[in-house]
Amino acid sequence: MLIARWQIDARFGHKQEVIGRLQAWARDIAPQAGLLRGRLLTGSVGAREATVVHEWEVADLGELDRAWAELGKIAAHAQWGRELEPFVVSGTARWEIYRVIDPLA
């Protein structure tokens, strides 16, 4: 299993707007791409307060690749990105992929 982590920094004073838009994306768009198991995180202690993170659980890189391919076909995703842009710091979006390891194995 993998965790695909997408993070972005909100512009000053716009973190709640970014969080709300990401919640809407998770509810309305993610399921269309096959992203079903996720959570939303935000910076607290030792992390930038402006950072907002979406983590998605996927079985493998194939599942993630299929989700990304589907996102490219969803017009609402493209529109969502255009509407999100004014509220985020340009150049801060990035993906990180983590392999989940059972700590008791």
86: CATH: 3.30.70.100
Q: What is the CA radius of gyration of the chain?
A: 14
- The string of pLDDT tens digits covering residues 37-95 is 999 999 889 989 999 999 999 999 999 999 999 999 999 999 999 999 999 999 999 99
Structure letter (DSSP) for residue 100: -
Structural domain includes residue 37 = yes
Domain of residue 77, residue span: 2-99
3 and 41 Cβ atoms separated by less than 8 Å:
no
Q: What is the pLDDT of residue 100?
A: 95
Structural domain includes residue 28 = yes
Residue 49 to residue 90: CA distance in whole angstroms: 16
Q: What is the pLDDT of residue 19?
A: 97
Region label for 11, one of left (φ > 0), alpha (ψ between -120 and 50) or beta (otherwise): beta
Structural domain includes residue 104 = no
